Structure formats: C-alpha cells, structure tokens
Amino acid sequence: MRYGQPELLFNKTGMHDVMYRQEQSATAAPGGINENVLLNTPTEDLVEELVERYRLNVPVLDRANAEAEHSEGPVEVYDFFSRDYDGGRRTVQGSIVELTVPYTGDRGLFDVQPTTFDSGPPRAQIDGNHVVVRHSDRELKPEEANKALNGVLDVIERYLTWQRATAEPFNERIKVRLREAIEARKVKVLKDRNSVANLGFKLKGRADAPKTYVAPVVRKRIVPTLPKPVAQSTFIPEPMLDDQTYSEILKIIENMTLVMERSPSAFASMGEEDIRQHFLVQLNGQFEGAATGETFNFTGKTDILIRVDGRNIFIAECKFWNGPKAFTETIDQLLGYLSWRDTKAAVIIFSRNRDFSGVLKSVEEATDAHPHKKRGPTRDGDTRLRYIFGNPADHNREVFLTIMAFNVPST
C-alpha cells in the first residue's frame, strides 16, 4: 500500500463561498496591472490570462488511463462469530487493490461541496495529479473489486458534474466582468494621461465622391489595441486606422469585385496588377490623404497600403487562388511585410475555379491552421472572414486580418 488513508471529499467548504472570493479577486485584478503593460496589451489577451487564473477549473478524471496495483497487507474485516469479537471488527492479512486515476483541473475543488449534494460523499486519496481509490478484502475477488472501485469513481464524477453545473456559468460571468474592468481601467488611464485626443486617425471623405459604393461617414476616435512589451515600456500613442474606416475600405473592395463577377468578360484577361489598379482608383475616389490627393498606393511588392507619418496602417494583398499552399504563403508574405506597428490587413483572393465552394472551404481550413492565428473567424459575409493574428515579430501585437474571396469567372 503506497498511499495514505482515504479522506472524505467535497466536504470542507461551500461552492458559493469559493465563487464569491474568486469573483472578488478577479474583479480587483485589473487594478494591479502596470499601466504600460495594460495599454500595450490587447484586451482579449489580458482577459484570457486573467480568466485562466481565476476560472473554476473543475477536475476531469481520466479513467481510461487508470492503473491498478495489488498488494498484501492488514485489512479490517467483520466477523461476528469470532471468539475475539470486538464489535465485529478485526484485522487480518488480506488483499488490497489501489486504483490510481489521473485527473486534470484544480485539486482544491475536491474539497468544495457543490450546491447540489447528497448524504454520501465519496472517500479517496488525492495524491498530486491522481485520485487514488482503494478496495480491500480477505482475498482478491476481481468482479467485486471492479464494482467497488468503479462505484467510488462514479460518485466522485457525480459530485464533479454538480460542481460543473455551477462553475461553467461562473466562468462566463467573470470573463464578462474582467473585460469590463479592463476596458474601464484603460479608459481611465488614458484619460489621466490626457492622451485620448492624440490616438485617432481618420480618412477625410471627398466632397465630390460618387456614392456608387459607400458614403463617407463621420469617423470615430479609436482606442488602440497594443502589444504586451517585453519590458514595461512607456505607452506611446500612434496613428491607427479605426474599425469603421477599415470596414468601409473592405466594403468598397467587395463592391468593386461584385462588379467584376457580374461583368466577367470585361475582367477576364486582367492580371493581379490590373485588378489592383481598379481598386486603387475606386479607393482614392472615395478617400483623400492628409498631404496628397492619393491615400492608397503601393510600394515594392505590397499591393495596396496606406501610410501615415511613415507608418503603414493598412496593407492588402491581391492574389489569384492557386491552392492552399500558395494561399498560406500569401499570408506569410503579408505578415512578413508588416512592421511591429501594422495592425490592419487584408488578403483578397480571386478564384477562377468552377468549384468555388471548395475554394472557400480550403481558404478557411488553411487560415485556421496558420501558426500565427489567434482568434476567429468572424463572418462579415458569405466570403469574408475576419481574424486576429499575432504579428510574427511580437505575437502579443494583434493584427486584424480579413480574408476576402471572390469568384471571378474567366469568361
């Protein structure tokens, strides 16, 4: 016998007390984050980190990998007909079977009584990352031992199921509370630093722009989504494309491509560069830059970009579909162009394949498998998927990457 005596589980404290203390600690946690770390880290990354710290991680038994060990030793038996009668109990040399069951989750929850319980909590030994249950008798009877050991495990799992019914809603609740607390503190810190007025960048709509694709709207200031620095560097506001303008740019591109889909003969012979020029004409017809008449341009191998104060705030790549491998290489190519500060990007895929549904499936599968993908997709349309990627130079730096796929018939 390797382990100590079994103890009564789920019997030391109540679930409501645990949840109350955990929620109080979680809600206070954002207040202890260094201000520069707070501002330089994406909200969702902070939420995930704190949720992992304060969530109730109910144990899960791995019964498939349980291991049994048999030994001989003193066991207590009942013998009411013995001359050494002592309440029917006496100790004899017998058989002991210990079943060691791995588990994942929070060991402390084995001490917590769920909000639903009965009068027969189980007994077991918790040893590190294992639950040990024991059966002893005068001699080993496999069927009886199996039934007894599994019976104890069934009771343990019943209690864990009762815990889980309360813990899962709690975990969702603290996620919401943490997000609210983090965002509120970011706003307060920014206000205290008097930096909010310097954070936004908006594109000025042309007064004479045709309304074929989208009407210019009043831009909103943005709250930046910034990386977690290796050191606690000072937060410095920087120009950044706001979400509303980003969505409008994508909408113009989408509407232009719909024209191509509906007039295939006019675009059948065009290559990637020709198509790109059409996008640039439409985009610059809707928006103007702060210093020149053209906001959208291209340099080097990058297809479409916007630069402000020497910084790229929007980058897009236009490619014809040539299979999942080439598509993944396009994402790698785009991410390779991004500096640490770039946060808005798009990959525009044109397909001349007959099986466009198969192309869309391959696009999603390849994007989901990319090592720098963090979250998503958010579906902005049937053929438009928005993801959050990590910048290869700093994975805490979030890149908003939209994948747009369009069927452009060859005839």
Give the pLDDT confidence of 83-141 residue by residue, as tens digits: 555 556 677 778 888 999 999 999 999 999 999 999 989 999 999 899 999 887 777 78
Q: Which of 292, 279, 287 is nearest to 319 (CA)?
A: 279
Amino acid, res. 216: P
- Average pLDDT in the 276-299 region? 62
Whether residue 172 sits in one domain with residue 113: yes
Q: Give the domain range for residue 357.
A: 197-407
Whether residue 214 sits in one domain with residue 74: no
Is 1 part of a structural domain of the chain? no
SS3 category, 203: coil
Query: Can you name the residues that pair with 241 across neighbouring β-strands?
Result: 201
pLDDT tens digit string along 133-144?
988 777 778 888
Domain boundary among 188, 216, 246: 188
The total number of structural domains in the chain stands at: 2
Query: Can you name the residues that pair with 95 across neighbouring β-strands?
Result: 72, 137
- pTM assigned to the model: 0.60
pLDDT tens digit string along 247-284?
888 888 888 877 777 776 666 677 777 777 777 777 77
Whether residue 273 sits in one domain with residue 158: no
Whether residue 116 sits in one domain with residue 180: yes
Whether residue 210 sits in one domain with residue 127: no
Q: Which of 62, 66, 164 is nearest to 112 (CA)?
A: 164
Mean pLDDT lowest for which of 31-40, 66-75, 274-283?
Answer: 274-283
C-alpha distances out from residue 334 to 31, 40, 49, 288, 342, Å: 37, 23, 28, 24, 11
Q: Assess contact for 351 and 321: CB atoms under 8 A.
A: yes
Whether residue 142 sits in one domain with residue 217: no
SS3 category, 402: strand
Is 210 part of a structural domain of the chain? yes
Q: Which of 401, 375, 381 is nearest to 44 (CA)?
A: 375
Q: Kindly report the CA angle at 232 between 228 and 234, in degrees rounded to 5?
A: 95
Whether residue 383 sits in one domain with residue 341: yes
Distance CA 1, CA 283 (A): 76
Whether residue 135 sits in one domain with residue 203: no
Domain boundary among 134, 155, 188: 188
